[in-house]
Amino acid sequence: MKESSKRLTGKLVLMIQDDGVLADYIGAALCDAGAYIIGPARTVAEARALLPRLRNKPVAVVVSTKLFAADDGALRNGIGRLAIPVLIIGDGNGRPLLPLPRHDVLTVPFASHQIVDRICSLVGAVTIAQLRARTGPVLQGH
């Protein structure tokens, strides 16, 4: 198991993603890093219905620019009320993004490790350097 694989252990991440393949890819990367996924909500209506029913507050949300573009503002406002970091998944079409506090943008294509790195950066999760400092060097073959 890679030492970077547990950087998000036990953290909840809300996913709002309309592309099923991309949702699976992002979800697998986050789960491999130890996170739990809430969702994915695949439409604005699903996301709006999910937000007020959250039992536990997630540490971040991953959301598609397509769904932001299809929203009349209620989804953005609901995410804003959570006051958590947002990772926006762009499709490269240059849609304007409304200002959000603590957000980052990834444009497809991207590698799975970039998802984990960006979420860790947004939420202040443990970095690889911090893991090494805690555990010391790994002894091979012992």
CB 67 within 8 A of CB 91: no
Please give the C-alpha separations between residue 97 and each of 21, 55, 73, 119, in angstroms, as whole numbers: 23, 28, 12, 18
- pLDDT higher than threshold 70 for residue 24: yes
Query: Which of 31-40, 58-67, 86-95, 112-121 shows the lowest mean pLDDT across its residues?
Result: 86-95
d(CA 87, CA 119): 7
What local confidence, expressed as pLDDT, does residue 139 receive? 42
3-state secondary structure of 47: helix
How many domains are contained in the chain?
1
Q: Domain for residue 51, yes or no?
A: yes
Given pLDDT bands bounded at 50, 70 and 90, which one contains residue 4? Answer: very low
Write the CATH number for 9. 3.40.50.2300
Q: Domain for residue 141, yes or no?
A: no
For residue 90 the two structure tokens come to 């762009």
Domain with 14, as residue range(s), is 3-135
Q: Domain for residue 38, yes or no?
A: yes
Q: Domain for residue 27, yes or no?
A: yes
| Entry pTM | 0.80
pLDDT tens-digit readout, 51-69: 999 999 999 999 998 887 7
Q: Domain for residue 70, yes or no?
A: yes
Q: Domain for residue 92, yes or no?
A: yes
What local confidence, expressed as pLDDT, does residue 97 receive? 57
What local confidence, expressed as pLDDT, does residue 69 receive? 76
